Amino acid sequence: MNNPLAGTAHLLDELDKKLMVLLRDGRTLIGYLRSVDQFANLVLHKTIERIHVGREYGDIPRGVFIVRGENVVLLGEIDPEKEENQPLIEVSVDDILDAQRREQESKQDQQKLMQKALKERGLNLMAELNHDDMF
């Protein structure tokens, strides 16, 4: 007989444990797994969104958080001993959001320089194709 929870059965062992969940959009959530269904949809309790920039991090409280299973890239249990001894420095939410914004701006600037260099060499990777050009 087919078990409808076969693909997510291992998640049942993680109920009430503190998990780290990496989402497709790059966000990292940390919270207690309270519920899971056959689609691997998750309900996290006492959830925080953790933002890392270099060796610094900041936590944004999110409360109860529902995550669609299709958005989960990675999840795992957090070891309380290792969490206490992490080599990262906690900073305020405002400071980490500012650092994240600066990091994203720097990456965008680097991408623009790379595109400019490629364009000068005759490679315009960002050129949009017309539908007519494809046929």
Domain extent listing, the chain: 9-90
Residue with tokens 């078990």: 3
Residue 4's pLDDT is 54
The reported pTM is: 0.72
Task: Classify domain 9-90 at the CATH topology level.
Answer: SH3 type barrels. (2.30.30)
> Does the pLDDT value for residue 112 go beyond 60?
yes
The token pair at 10 is 């291992």
Q: How far apart are CA 27 and CA 49, in angstroms?
A: 7
Buried b / exposed e along 70-87 (16+ C-beta atoms within 10 A):
eebeebeeeeeeeeeeee
Residue 35 structure tokens = 């519920």
pLDDT in tens, 35-80: 999 889 999 999 999 999 999 999 999 999 999 999 999 999 998 8
Beta bridge partners of 44: 33, 65
Mean pLDDT, residues 10-33 taken together:
92
